[in-house]
Structure formats: structure tokens, C-alpha cells
Copies of this chain bind each other. A is one copy, B any other.
Amino acid sequence: MDDDAFPRSIDERERRAWFGLVSTITLLPAALESQLQRESGVSLYEFRVMAALLMQPDHTLQLKDLASVTDGSLSRLSHVVTRLGRRGWVRRYSERTGRATQARLTDRGRQKVVETAPGHIAEVRRLVFDVLSAEQVGALEEITGRINTAIGAQSGSSRTS
């Protein structure tokens, strides 16, 4: 009898990699969330939404594209846009009746991202890039690209944060 939740079909090497990865996908979001909430009062997803808008030429994106580049469902994104709207950072509008809904970063929203980014980036650097070699950074890009494709993520040069 094998008292093991990972019998067969995953070998020892994969098992060790899996335990590492499952810890990272649990601990890293929590650590990033914690820094952002503590220092800037925003969630990781709220920050990603605003950062994605900031990187657009006119700080504007259709809601469905914004959901896609932030890896969120349209309903999650819509909820967060409403919340960011109440804080005066994002404005939701349609060009004309019947056109797709857009979200635009306001000037105050732009200022909020710019103020928030340095602390977030410092945490990303401390937890990820300071501890990896250049070769590992390359491997990480390739590995996460393959996993994200398998999950069915949208990909391409329009990805933001």
C-alpha cells in the first residue's frame, strides 16, 4: 500500500519541482499582496489593472482586452474597475452607445501607479531577481511561457503586468 497522494505518473524529480512550484504560487502572490496593501492600500490585481492601462498609448483599453492582459475574468475585472472608479483612479465609458466599454486611467490614477510602482518593484526584485542568475531568468521566462500557454493564457507583445 502506498500512502502517497502522488503515486506513479509523477517521478521524483517532477515531484520536487512540483512542491517548489506549488509553494511559489501560494507564497509569492501573498507576499506581493501584503507589500502592496501595507504600503499603498491596493491589491495586486488592482495594481496590475492600473499598470496595464498606464502602458497603453492613451491610458485606455477595452474591458475585455484589459481582462485578458491581467489574466482576469471579465466579471472580476469589471468589479475591480468599479472599485477603482470609486477611488477616482479609473473611468469607465463608451465612445458611443453600443460601442464596447472602455476603461481609462485618470490623472490621479496615473499618479497612484507611479507612486506605488517603486515599492512593488523593489519587492519583486528582492524575492525573485536578486536570487536568480541571468540564466535562470531566461529559463523562468521560457518555463512560465509554456505553462501559461498550456493553461490557455492570451499571449503576445501586448501583455502588460
A37 contact set on B, CB distance < 8 A? none
**Chain B proximity of A121: nearest CB distance (Å):** 6
Instruction: Mark the stretch among A84-92, A95-103, A139-147 that contacts chain B.
Output: A139-147
**Chain B proximity of A102: nearest CB distance (Å):** 17
Q: Lowest 8 A-B CB distances belong to which pairs?
A: A20-B144, A5-B51, A17-B141, A139-B139, A26-B71, A131-B146, A24-B144, A17-B140
**Chain B proximity of A18: nearest CB distance (Å):** 6
A6 contact set on B, CB distance < 8 A? 51, 117, 121, 161
Could you tell me which A residues sit within 8 Å of B by CB distance?
Answer: 3-7, 9-10, 13-14, 16-29, 31, 45, 47-48, 50-51, 54-55, 59, 71-72, 110, 113-114, 117, 121-122, 124-132, 134, 136-151, 153, 159-161
A27 contact set on B, CB distance < 8 A? 71, 148, 151, 153
**Chain B proximity of A140: nearest CB distance (Å):** 5
**Chain B proximity of A94: nearest CB distance (Å):** 24
Q: In whole angstroms, what is the CA distance A134 to B150 when docked?
A: 17
Q: In whole angstroms, what is the CA distance A80 to B115 when docked?
A: 37
Contact status A25-B29, CB under 8 Å: yes
A50 contact set on B, CB distance < 8 A? 5
Choose among B20, B21, B148 the residue that contacts A23 (Cβ–Cβ < 8 A).
Answer: B148
